[in-house]
């Protein structure tokens, strides 16, 4: 299992551990004490991060000879705290039973990456989970458009809606293992996906599953290729069918849910020796 499971899962998939959605997240601050910035979540008083994402991006552009060292420092620091992970729809639906209260809200990534603002409840594409939602009103900038609280059955329908539209699911943390929500994401808009693919930052781990094609069922329609955010699904011209590079696969399952012939299944990453440590 991944290092997040080792640290937070208690023998199970870490994001299915009910304790990570529990009231432990909800802490009252002392009078006059302000909220900690996102970049400081998970750090003790007086600690400093050895490397930050903006620094790594600057070094990549200005001092490429230092880039590998800087990236390793940042990723080593991320491993001591927590990060997000790609999850398939079926696991996202399981979370709908664990993460109450749950509320949809506008996507901050989509706003600052592409100036797309989700202003109506049926447009909200991010989900806040757990006891942290009890204090959403303390951050008016993040929740300016309001939030829409939903019961579990409505959350399941909401997740299925975004999956059908071709958005993958990423479970996100508060930097210390507590789970803050599920983002419904696509490459052009998502900070976590772009930081991972463009810069190699462990802003999002690969999931616990990888996709496998049944070539006897695949007819080469290409729907799965259109839905893949990571370039793992490609059309194999020699056999007129889809082929999936499992090393590139993040296990989001969009190819599986989009395949009209049921030709793709998700298999446990740990069952494949060459991928057991590829997170």
- The pLDDT score that the predictor gives to residue 176 is 75
Question: Does the residue 43 lie in any domain?
Answer: no
Query: ∠112-115-116 over CA atoms, to 5°?
Result: 110
Q: pLDDT (tens digit, 9 = 90+) per residue, 57-75?
A: 999 999 999 999 999 999 9
β pairing state of 148-150 and 209-213: unpaired
Give residue-wise pLDDT tens across range 30-52: 666 655 444 444 444 455 667 88
| CATH code for the domain of 248 | 3.30.70.20
Same domain, 119 and 229: no
**Residue range 5-24, pLDDT digits in tens:** 999 999 999 999 998 887 55
Question: Measuring CA to CA, which residue among 183, 155, 158, 161 is closest to residue 170?
Answer: 183
Query: Do 89 and 200 have their domain in common?
Result: yes
Q: What percent of the chain has pLDDT over 70?
A: 86
pLDDT at site 119? 85
Domain that holds residue 177: 3-25+82-205
Q: Are residues 11 and 148 in the same domain?
A: yes
Among candidate residues 106, 65, 87, the one with its CA nearest the CA of residue 16 = 87
Q: Is residue 63 part of a domain?
A: no
In a domain, 225, yes or no: yes
260 and 192 part of one domain: no
Rounded CA-CA distance 70/90 in Å is 36
| Spatial separation of the C-alpha atoms in residues 213 and 221, rounded to whole Å | 13
Whether 51 is covered by a domain: the verdict is: no
Whether 243 and 115 share a structural domain: no
65 domain-assigned: no
Tell me, what's the pLDDT at 104? 93
Q: Are residues 162 and 232 in the same domain?
A: no
Total number of domains constituting the chain: 2
On whether residue 172 sits in a domain, the answer given is yes
Does residue 112 share a domain with residue 16? Answer: yes
The model's confidence at residue 133, banded by pLDDT at 50, 70 and 90, is confident
């Amino acid at each position: 299992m991944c290092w997040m499971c080792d640290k937070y899962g208690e023998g199970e998939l870490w994001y299915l551990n009910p304790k990570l959605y529990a009231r432990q997240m909800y802490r009252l601050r002392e009078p006059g004490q302000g909220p900690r910035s996102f970049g400081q979540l998970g750090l003790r008083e007086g600690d400093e991060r050895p490397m930050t994402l903006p620094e790594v991006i600057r070094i990549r552009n200005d001092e490429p000879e230092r880039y590998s060292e800087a990236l390793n420092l940042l990723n080593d620091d991320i491993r001591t705290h927590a990060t997000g992970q790609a999850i398939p729809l079926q696991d996202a639906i399981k979370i709908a039973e664990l993460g109450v209260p749950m509320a949809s809200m506008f996507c901050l990534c989509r706003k600052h990456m592409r100036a797309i603002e989700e202003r109506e409840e049926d447009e909200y594409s991010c989900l806040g989970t757990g006891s942290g939602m009890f204090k959403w009103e303390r951050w008016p900038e993040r929740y300016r458009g309001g939030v829409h609280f939903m019961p579990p059955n409505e959350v399941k329908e909401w997740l299925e809606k975004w999956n059908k539209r071709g958005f993958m699911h990423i479970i996100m943390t508060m930097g210390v293992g507590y789970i803050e929500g599920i983002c419904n994401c696509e490459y052009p808009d998502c900070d976590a996906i772009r930081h991972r693919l463009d810069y190699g930052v462990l802003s999002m781990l690969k999931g616990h599953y990888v996709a496998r094609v049944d070539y006897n069922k695949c007819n080469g329609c290409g729907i799965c290729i259109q839905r893949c955010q990571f370039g793992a699904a490609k059309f194999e011209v020699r056999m007129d069918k889809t082929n999936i590079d499992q090393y590139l696969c993040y296990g989001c399952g969009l190819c599986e849910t989009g395949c009209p012939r049921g030709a793709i299944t998700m298999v446990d990453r740990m069952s494949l020796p060459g991928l057991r440590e590829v997170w």
